[in-house]
Chains A and B, each alone.
Chain A
Amino acid sequence: DTGVSQDPRHKITKRGQNVTFRCDPISEHNRLYWYRQTLGQGPEFLTYFQNEAQLEKSRLLSDRFSAERPKGSFSTLEIQRTEQGDSAMYLCASSLVQAGANEKLFFGSGTQLSVL
């Protein structure tokens, strides 16, 4: 168990640029989540995948945001035409959901995005 890894750890970009983040979940986990965390706040749900299917998206996820999990393993989160308000920590979490068992989330260390 190597844990959930996220890349890059930090990203600085100029307003209007596109950015892409990657998340590698724990290998046998079937669910993968993206959260956003701004300074002084707890994580806010953005979207999640069950295997390769994206099952839920928050209203926070504007049209400029897109997430994929093409083979049910790693996931990418892309933000197009970044805005200063997108500056935040983007957290990925994964879990193994099994019938009759409570879900436990494992979080990555996050990608800190700064939009100048």
Chain B
Amino acid sequence: AQSVTQLGSHVSVSEGALVLLRCNYSSSVPPYLFWYVQYPNQGLQLLLKYTTGATLVKGINGFEAEFKKSETSFHLTKPSAHMSDAAEYFCAVGSGTGGFKTIFGAGTRLFVKA
């Protein structure tokens, strides 16, 4: 069975500050890991994904995430927050091809203060 835990339902940062959104997963098989972003009144958009290979994954809008197997973590970071980053972020785990096998976390809402 697979599961995802996102630590913190709300995170608030100042514009220009580091963004860190935490995600821990549980998986009995090598995981595929994803981060999605959801802006108000819009669908989910894939930010980045880890399947195999390099553990540091770079995504769109300056975000990146590092897969740490020993810590079962896949935290999302961005060096400098922008007002436009304010949104809800979802971490997800899958076991391969097949969206039906993708399990989403509860989400973390990011607030960016001017």
Residue B45 interfacial (CB < 8 Å): yes
Number of A-B contacts (CB under 8 A): 58
Chain A interface residue count, CB cutoff 8 Å, equals 26
Alpha-carbon separation in the docked complex, A42 to B32 (Å): 17
> Given that A102-B51, A104-B46, A110-B43 are contacting pairs, would A42 and B97 also be in contact in the complex, using a CB cutoff of 8 Å?
no
Question: How large, as a class, is the contact surface on chain B?
Answer: 20 to 34
A88-108 interface with B by 8 A CB criterion: 91, 93, 95, 97, 102-108
Q: Which single residue of chain A is at the shortest CB-CB distance from B104?
A: A42
> Given that A102-B51, A107-B44 are contacting pairs, would A31 and B99 also be in contact in the complex, using a CB cutoff of 8 Å?
yes
Residue B9 interfacial (CB < 8 Å): yes
Residue interface mask B49-77, A partner, CB < 8 A = 1: 10100000000000000000000000000
Residue positions of B touching A, CB distance < 8 A: 4, 9, 32, 36, 41-46, 49, 51, 90, 92, 97-100, 102, 104-107
Residue positions of A touching B, CB distance < 8 A: 4, 31, 33, 40-45, 47-48, 56, 58, 91, 93, 95, 97, 102-110
